Amino acid sequence: MYFLEYEYDESYWNFYQGRIEIQNLGTDTTEVNYNFLHLYPVNLTITLAPDVEFLPIRMGSDFTSFSRNDWLTEPKVPYTRKLNTDKNQEEQIRFTRTKPDGNYQQARFEIPATNTTGPTEFEIYLSNDDFKDI
């Protein structure tokens, strides 16, 4: 069971639809279905090709936060990262780098829906050609 506390108004924010009004506040029958999203692990193995420039490479995804410790800093080294994903939909992984002129480039990869609650393995090989200006 989850409890919702609010201070300012009779609504809350969720991930997909934004602000949702809470009906019947102040009665004992108020019930809110949060439709929680259950996330499942995907083990990523990422390797940078020898030609990859403008290191480090930063990672981003919808449901997993990556820190500075997760940056990819050397080519030809297999990096292992854990990603949390919804098993029923594809997940986009973004790899971002900064060029010497201060502009950014990004490579995007789609991880297909796993349709499983167990751990899944996925490999990504990044080369210079995968990065596009943004």
Residue 19 lies in a domain: no
Using CA atoms in the order 41, 109, 102, 134, what is the torsion angle rounded to 10 degrees? -130
Considering its fold, how many domains does the chain have in total?
Answer: 1
Q: Which band of pLDDT confidence, cut at 50, 70 and 90, is reported for residue 1?
A: very low
Residue 23 lies in a domain: no
Task: Name the amino acid, one letter, at 108.
Answer: R
Q: How many CB atoms lie within 10 A of CB 107?
A: 19
Quote the longest CA-to-CA distance of the chain: 64
Domain CATH code at residue 129? 2.60.40
Residue 45 lies in a domain: yes
Query: Domain limits at 80?
Result: 39-133
pLDDT at 6 over 60: no
Token pair belonging to 48: 């940078």
Q: For residue 75, which of 111, 46, 45 has the smallest C-alpha distance?
A: 46
Average pLDDT over residues 66-92: 92
Residue 24 lies in a domain: no
Q: Which band of pLDDT confidence, cut at 50, 70 and 90, is reported for residue 39?
A: confident
Whether the CB-CB separation of 101 and 127 falls below 8 Å is answered with: no
